[in-house]
Structures are given as C-alpha cells and as structure tokens.
Amino acid sequence: MDDFSALDLPPPLRQALDVLEYRSPTPVQAATLPALVAGRDVSAQARTGSGKTAAFALGLLARIDAGAGGVQALVLCPTRELADQVGREIRRLGRFLPNLKVSVFCGGVPLRPHLASLVQLPQVVVGTPGRIQELMDEGALPLDGLRVLVLDEADRMLDMGFADAIAGIVGQTPASRQTLLFSATFPEAIRELGGRFQREAEQYRLDDGEAPVRQRFIEVEPARKADAIALLLGDLQPEAALVFCNTRRDVAALAEDLDRRGIAALALHGDLEQRDRDEVLVRFANGSAAVLVATDVAARGLDIVGLPLVISHGLASDADIHTHRIGRTGRAGAQGLALSLVAQDERRRVVAIEERLGGTVGWERIDLSRRPKPAPAAKMTTLVIDAGRQDKLRPGDVVGALTGAAGLDAAAIGKIAGFATRTYVAIERSQASRALERLRTGKIKGRSFRIRKLD
C-alpha cells in the first residue's frame, strides 16, 4: 500500500487524514492497515516511533458505528502517559466522526469521577488494565458490545504484572471481537498471549531498514557516571536529552547532582504526585527543560518528537528494556543517538543486547579529566494559567491574549497544553518575564486568571 487512498476508509477518516496531511503510510501502517480495516486480528512488532498508534487508531475508528451505543473499542496501555498519548491520537484522527466520545481511564486519580463520566458510555475507551478492571468490577463499564480490543505495548504490561488483569478483562468481552496486539518487542510471553486471545492473527514483524538510532557503549566507573553525563551533554549540546536510571533513588540523586553542576534537569519517577508528573512531562515536551532523568516505567509513553539523545545511566536489566529505551530517540525516521554508560559489573548484561543486535558492540572510553563545556540551556519557559477546559479556556484564547494585549510575536509562543483546571504555555525564555507581566495586568477572554512562572 503506497498511500492511504488505497484503504476503504469512511469519509470522516479520509477528511482527517487530509487535514492532518497524512500522505504516505509508514511501513507498519502500510503492512497492517488493510487487515485492520478488514476486521482481521493482527499481531505486529515494530520499533517505537514507527507509527503503530496511528495504525491501530485508524483500524478501530473504521469499525466504529456512530449510531450505536455502548463501548465499541478498548485500548489497554501499560501507563497513564502512553494512554493519554493514544487517546489524543484517536481524537485527532476521529475529529470528524459525528458524536465520537473517547475516554481515558488510568489509576492514580480518584475512581468516583471516572464512574460519574460513564453515565453516558463512550464509543472508545483507553486505559490501564488496573483501572479498567476496577470500573468493570463496579459494573460501570460493560464490554458486551465490544468490537475491537487493542493491547498496546503488551510486553511492558506483562513486565508490570498485568497478565491477570488483562485475562480478566478479555474474559468479559465478546468472542467475536477483533483483537490487535502491538509491541516493540515480541518475547515468548507475548506470542503465548496472542495465542490465547487472538484468532488466526496475521503476523507482522517490521524492520524499517537501517536503524535510525546510532548506539555507543562507554565504559565508566559507577562513581564517575554523573561526570561522564555532564561531559557528554557539554560535548554534544543536544536540544533535549532523556537519561534513564534503574531506580527512583538513582533518578533523584542524578537530577540533584546535575542541578548542582548548573544543568537544569527534571526528575520523573513513580513517587511523584500526578500533578507534578504532568508538569514535568509538559516542561520537557515544550522545551522548558533540556534534560529529563527518569525510570523506565515513568517514561513509558513519553513521545517527544525529534528527541536527539537518550543516555542510560545504568544499563537496562534486559535486552527488551534496552530496546524500549533507545526507541525514545530516532522516531519517525529522524536520526537519534543512544549512549549506554556501563560499569564493569554491568558488562554481563551486554551479552543479551549483542544477541538482539546480532553482533558485538564497540566499546569506548572518554577522558573524564577534561573540564566539561556548559550544557545547553532550555530555550523556553513555561507559564501556568490557573484555568483550563472547565473554564472554557482554549489555546486560541491564550495565543490571542499574548499576541494582542501582551504584544508578543507569535513566533515566541511554543506548545500550549490544556488540562481540566490548568493551562501551560511555553514562551521563549527571553520573552517570558514580559509575557508574564502583561498577562497578569491584562485579561484573557475578558477575565483575569492567576498566572505564574513554572521553574
């Protein structure tokens, strides 16, 4: 399939593809979409960032009957961040489907609001297995009319212990459902999962050709890893870098160490409150922080377009996790770089990675006696407006206030992220103080809101 016009898609989906300028399908989309749209079960392996989400989103949206009630499609994801990303993509592609409702349900927030929202059932539900199971146990989420079930990043869901929850959910869905299984890696446990829940699934293992991620393995003693990261950030001058640590304690310690060196780094781990997690992800995604230090689970679903650099502070415990880490960079065909800092006692883990790569890795050493160059500063600053979707505040309203009364050039405004009660807007660092002052003394949509800088 060379272009999307070859697919038998409903007119609203064709309209969305035209508006979003989706012209040529990625390899995983070209391979799987004919079977997805035809309603056949599909099991697909392709690297992170290859377009899997858009593939299954189009497939399930093509089977939605806007005139029918009940939940028609369910997507299970390992983390809230990935579920939010999937929900946004489904809404984008389904924007012209009449009366389409897409709901995202994840743990970490009270159950009651989710129960209240299900008084009117959505056609599409995206969520984590634990919260979906809770809603089903409460009798609030019937799946007797389900047409499409998607297991996204199924390998990570199994790693996180969701096997029983998935089985319980699938057991309450119709046997006639279409079941789609997408993942970046396909260990034996995933093949067994497909065998249990799918019927004559079409199998796809996609290789995009030359890997867009260049890997380097660097020998570093444990006590010098922070020194090495500071040196590499100064040498490479990346606009953004994601640094993986194996434990929450390592994340906190490394972020503090980098901050003492004058490198503004954000920390992302499981001990953060949900609002703090949201703000960390917003700041990194909009360019207000150049370095994010995270655990593997916390960074799951993080989708930063054009992320040039991933660093493993501690080598991943197995080859699958390593594959997911390096998949954060080199997305959508862009060239990426993955650096793995390996201590002597971690070298045994490299054997499994070499088996996955099909060859031996090359080793490097770096001169840690050199004085590091200053790491690149973030280009943007984030302003927080204490109003959001519940207040009918839209991104266009914010842009209008900034370019109008505040007098900012539109080019100085970056990404705007709206939540229920808050809106985050990225402003070029040199213009942030001016924008903050003007917004505080002016109004947005004729109203005054509390506005502050997020540092």
pLDDT for the residue numbered 191: 82
> For the chain, how are helix, strand and coil distributed in percent, rounded to 5?
40, 20, 40
Residue 225: CB partners within 8 Å, gap ≥ 6?
A: 254, 313, 314, 341, 343
pTM: 0.64
List the alpha helices (DSSP H) in 261-403: 274-285, 319-326, 350-357, 395-403
Of 327, 320, 270, which is closest to residue 297 (Cα–Cα)?
Answer: 270
- Taking only the tens place, the pLDDT of each residue in 117-154 is 999 999 999 999 999 999 999 999 999 999 999 999 88
- Taking only the tens place, the pLDDT of each residue in 357-392 is 767 788 888 999 999 999 888 899 999 999 998 898
pLDDT above 70: residue 44: yes
Indicate the helix (H) or strand (E) that contains 418: strand 413-418
pLDDT above 50: residue 209: no
Assign 18 to helix, strand or coil: helix
pLDDT above 70: residue 207: no
Domains of the chain (ranges, CATH numbers): 4-205 (3.40.50.300), 213-364 (3.40.50.300), 380-454 (3.30.70.330)
- Taking only the tens place, the pLDDT of each residue in 311-366 is 999 998 888 888 888 878 876 556 789 999 999 988 888 888 888 776 778 888 89
Residue 451: CB partners within 8 Å, gap ≥ 6?
A: 383, 384, 385, 386, 436, 439, 440
- Taking only the tens place, the pLDDT of each residue in 400-442 is 888 886 678 888 999 898 888 999 999 999 999 988 988 888 8
Beta strands in 269-319 (DSSP E): 291-294, 309-312
What is the pLDDT of the chain when averaged over all its residues?
A: 88
Q: Give the C-alpha separation, 205 to 55, whole Å.
A: 14
Tokens 């599409």 locate to 124
